[in-house]
Structure formats: C-alpha cells, structure tokens
Amino acid sequence: MTRTLLRGLGLVFSGDIAAPRLEADAILIEQGRIAAIGRAAEMDAEGAEVIEAQGCAVMPGLIDNHVHPAFGDWTPRQNQLGWIEGMVHGGTTTLISAGEVHLPGRPKDPVGVKALAIAAQRAFSAFRPMGARVLAGAPVPERGLTEADYAEMAAAGVRFVGEFGLGTVKDEAEVAQVMGWVRAAGLNAMIHCGGPSIAGSNLMAAPVVIAADADIVAHINGGPTSLPRAELTKVIEGTSRAIEVVHNGNPRNALHALGVLREMGRLDRLVIGTDSPAGSGVQPLGVLRTISLLCSVGGLDPGLAIAAAGGNTARWRGIEAGVIAPGRAADLVLLDAPIGGAGRDAAEAFMEGELPGIGMVIVDGKIVCGRSRNTPPAARIPELRA
C-alpha cells in the first residue's frame, strides 16, 4: 500500500465552509486518498514516505468553476499551449468546462453538439495534464436539441451543460423549457449573466437569469461585462443557487456580490472561476488572485474564500474534489507567504492582497510539482524526506 505522511503543517484550510480551518499538523494519505487528519504524534504512519511541510499551510486543490477548454492542453482563444499545466502551478487541480465554445468551427447542429460534448468528455477524462481533472464536455444549448438529446448525452457520460446564452437558446421561455429537460436528464447547468462575451453571444439580463433557475449563475460580476449593480443584486436575491465570481470580470462588482451574499448569510452560494481562456488572457493564478481580492479588499476570511473555490463548488457541481476530509482524494496544495511580502503565513498574505507562494502540489496522493513556476517563491518550502 502506498502511504504518505504530510507533517509539520501550519494552517490547515479544509475547503469546507462549515469548518474552514482544522486543528491539525499532519495528513496521512493512503492509496491516493486522505486516510487521517490530526496530530503526527498520534498517527500510525508505519512505512509511510514523509513530506516535511516546514510550517507551510495546506489547502485542498482548488476548483476553477469556469473554463473554456478545447482539446489537449491548448487554447485557440489565445493560441497558447500548456495553459492547464499553468493552472496546476497556481493550485488549481480541478477545472470545470462552461462549454467548449472556442473550438474552431464548433458545430451548432444537434448531432454536432452532441458529438462534441461526448468527445470532449471522453478526451479529457483520459487526459490529465499534471494530474489535473478537466471535467469537460459541456454542450452549449442550441436550438434544435430535444429533451431526448439531453438525456442521450447524460446517458453517455456528460454531466454538465455549458452556459445558456452563448448559443441560440437565450429567450426566457425557451431557456426555462430547456432547463427543465436538463434537470430531468440529471445534468448540472450554468447560465451566462451580463453583457455578451464575444460576438455571437448574448446579453443575459436579470429576468431571464432569475427565471432560468440554473445550478450556477455564471460570472455575476460579468464575463467580462457585468449587469449594473442594482440588477446584479436582483439576481442574487431572486435566485437560490450558486453565484459565481470570476477573475475575468468586473472586480468592483465581484466585491458587491460578496457583500450581498454576506448580508444574506449565504456565503455557501459563493463559487469562484476564472472564465479563462478569455480575451484578457489565460490566468494560471486567476483563482488565487480572486481569493486575494475577496480577502484583502472584501474582508473575507481566507478559510471562507478557499471554501468558495473548494467545497462550495464541489457541492453545487456534485463532484468530489475541493475538500480536505477523510476518504476524499488527496489533492493538496502547500503554500506560504511569499518572500518579501507583508504577511507571515498564507492567510496573512491573502489578507494583504498578496499571492502566496506555492511550494508543492499533490494530486491523488502524488507530488505533481514542487516550487510553483507561476507564484512568487514561498518563504518556506516542503521537503520530501528520502
């Protein structure tokens, strides 16, 4: 049996909003899963390989709730290679597709939409750049697809529907009807919110977003153009499911959305995405930067911000990642204050508006990178003991 003991931990962020920080200094990993969390002195770790965390914080591998992959580790939007690996170096180990809309020549007829969704789901379930899970195959609702088509895709393994509003299904009654089919098929869906993102997509205003009742209101702060703040508030108050804040959006309105959710006592609805690749680029540190914004300017506790990109997203999406708990996949990110920054640990770094340094990323119990190539260097770096 493969066993790894991660010990000497400083802060332990669980990713669970109900208990965002754990009192522990060690995590025992067995067969790629978390076996125990607690005190190293009290753990039976006979024969385990040892990682000395040197006082670094640990958080769950982050989930980017909103990406637009094509195929492989390539994005046609910015004609860039290796962007998914870049994300892993930013602590993101699970990425959820909001639609493969950037695929050159993307088909829009029903047979083509289904074929693309199933092919993307299959391809990314067999392709894991640096261990990253890319949950792809998210068909964009187009006119002509029937209830049976959504059921067929679900039966074939598709789990998510891309953004309503990026395709031809965009009017209130039509969106509501298709959303009913999507739910009947057991699929999880998101709706574009705000101004059009690229030519050919649509403005999705408050009434249609509210009526849709999708699992996720995508980019409440715009992707990249936000609804006006009064409208945005109506969407949050008029819906009951997840509200996504993205890096590729309006930062002022991201903070406004945070304030509305906080006032409602519903921070469990907050999820984080990058919406990359986008016109503003690929953002390997986009989730970290959004956490840093919400903490430093928004005053959000880092444990809660990490939970937004962890357990909150996992719960609203019906997936397993994003939480440090016994039995869960050992997707772990070791991080610390950056050298030269004002904070003394990762939490203080976030509160100062800094980007923490990542010293190690672990996926399914395996070390996929040491010192991140993308974050600033961490003050303390974990070490694998020979």
Q: Which residues bind Zn ion (CB under 5 A)?
A: 163, 192, 197, 218, 223
Give the nearest distance from C-beta 335 to Zn ion in angstroms. 29
Which of 286, 303 has the CB closer to Zn ion? 286
Smallest separation (angstroms) from Zn ion to the CB of 219: 6
Contact 219, 192 (CB under 8 A): yes
106 strand-pairing partners: none
Closest distance to Zn ion from the beta carbon of 165 (Å): 7
Q: Which is nearer to Zn ion, 208 or 332 (CB)?
A: 208
Residue pointed to by tokens 């956490």: 291
* Least distance between Zn ion and beta carbon 345 (Å): 35
State the DSSP code for 164.
E
Nearest approach in angstroms of CB 226 to Zn ion is 11
Amino acid at 12: V
Determine if residue 137 is left, alpha or beta; phi over 0 gives left, psi from -120 to 50 gives alpha, anything else beta. Answer: left
C-beta of 197 vs 250, nearer to Zn ion? 197
Check if the beta carbon of residue 8 is closer than 8 Å to that of residue 52.
yes
Instruction: Decide whether 222 or 310 has the Cβ nearer to Zn ion.
Output: 222
Nearer to Zn ion, 275 or 331 (CB): 275
Q: Shortest Cβ distance from residue 280 to Zn ion (Å)?
A: 13
Cα–Cα distances (Å) from 333 to 267, 346, 356, 372, in that order, read 23, 11, 11, 10
Nearer to Zn ion, 227 or 335 (CB): 227
Residue 176's SS3 state is helix
Strands (DSSP E) contained in the chain are 3-7, 26-30, 33-38, 49-52, 57-60, 62-67, 74-75, 80-81, 92-97, 133-135, 160-164, 188-191, 216-217, 242-246, 270-273, 332-336, 357-363, 366-369, 383-385
DSSP-derived 3-state class of residue 122: helix
Q: Which two tokens stand for residue 39?
A: 């005190």
Give φ, ψ of 173 to 5 degrees: -65, -40
* Smallest distance from Zn ion to CB 357, Å: 31
227, 203 Cβ separation under 8 angstroms: no
As measured in angstroms, the least distance from the Cβ of 190 to Zn ion is 8
**Angular region, 286: left φ>0, alpha ψ -120 to 50, beta rest:** alpha
Measure the CA–CA gap between 189 and 148, rounded to whole angstroms.
Answer: 17
- Least CB distance from residue 163 to Zn ion, whole Å? 5
**Could you tell me the end-to-end alpha-carbon distance of the chain, in angstroms, rounded to an integer?**
18
DSSP conformation class of 175: H
Residue 85 or 163: the one with the smaller Cβ distance to Zn ion is 163
Give 218 or 337: the residue with its C-beta nearer to Zn ion: 218
Cβ distance to Zn ion smaller for residue 96 or 218: 218
Helix axes 147-155, 172-184, angle to 10 degrees: 40
Taking the complex as a whole, the smallest distance from the CB of residue 97 to Zn ion amounts, in Å, to 12
Q: What are phi and psi of 165, to 5 degrees?
A: 105, -15
Question: Which residue, 213 or 336, is less far from Zn ion as judged by CB?
Answer: 213
